[in-house]
Amino acid sequence: MLDDEDAPIHPLFAGAPSSTEFKKLRKRIVRETRDAIEKYGMIERGARWLVCLSGGKDSYTLLAVLHELKWRGLLPVDLLACNLDQGQPGFPSTVLPKFLEDMGVPHRIEYQDTYSVVKEKIPEGRTYCSLCSRLRRGNLYRIAREEGCSAVVLGHHRDDILETFFMNLFHGGRLATMPPKLVNEEGDLFVYRPLAFVAEADCERFARAMNYPIIPCDLCGSQEGLQRVQVKQILDGWEARSPGRRQIMFRALMNVRPSHLCDPSIFDFAALMRGEAPETPSKAPGIPDLRG
């Protein structure tokens, strides 16, 4: 169905480049998004999703692909786009409403001046992201409840998930990242990341090729020196020296062996007995057995 060039398309895809390169890019992003949705069981038929739109390349890509899947009958949920204007100085507040209206996308624009709260609470020179994201998340959960949505849908991609893993490893002392699907602390909302398998570079190429009105994410002026920026630079260096390294590392997050780590809360090392092989997933092809 996705290969049918004559099939109607959603207005978000209108004016797409006709080059073979772009068609391959689009199909890859749609396929990877659909794979993530299916693999992590995100679809509840008849549900309503709050699709969070910041105006960055990732959220535009998310919005377009979800509407394309719905347009083609492959995503049986209602979609409500939402932008939370957090009162950052210089934020172009008219860009997203006009874009969404022009595209015929159901949406809600919410204004909450969390920027002033963050400025008041965070000392000068410190990064704002942690508190800012908590305040943003709380408002998005509230909006989702008010709109009768069962899920908050975010535009985090594969590289965001990898960067978070390494931030937790380097600075948090734990093996954890942003999962593609989780339930919020209150237990009443799902949080989905359908772009979990999509590379950041593909989001960048797609959004710019579509000429979406991208809003920069550094309006608060607090981006330099962030831990995430430092981790991204490390991953960029690894990728430059060994192309494909990011994808290999991401596959590792989907191939966890609790018996080959050191956490007794997820594997009962004390119960291991000689003469009994521990229960572990079957060895993937091409992975050497290092237990000998």
Neighbours of 247 (CB within 10 A): 13
Contact 192, 184 (CB under 8 A): no
Measured CA distances, 138 to 52, 141, 145, 286 (Å): 13, 5, 11, 45
Contact 51, 62 (CB under 8 A): yes
Find out whether 129 is annotated in a ligand binding site.
Answer: yes
First vs last C-alpha separation in the chain = 48
Residue with tokens 């981006």: 223
Supply 110's token pair.
Answer: 């919410």
Residue with tokens 């956490």: 263
* Residue 39: DSSP 8-state: H
Least Cα distance to 104 among 209, 7, 13 occurs for 13
The contacts of residue 273 (CB under 8 Å, 6+ apart) are: none
Contact 68, 10 (CB under 8 A): yes
Pick out the residues of the known binding site for [4Fe-4S] cluster.
Answer: 129, 132, 220
Pick out the residues of the known binding site.
Answer: 129, 132, 220
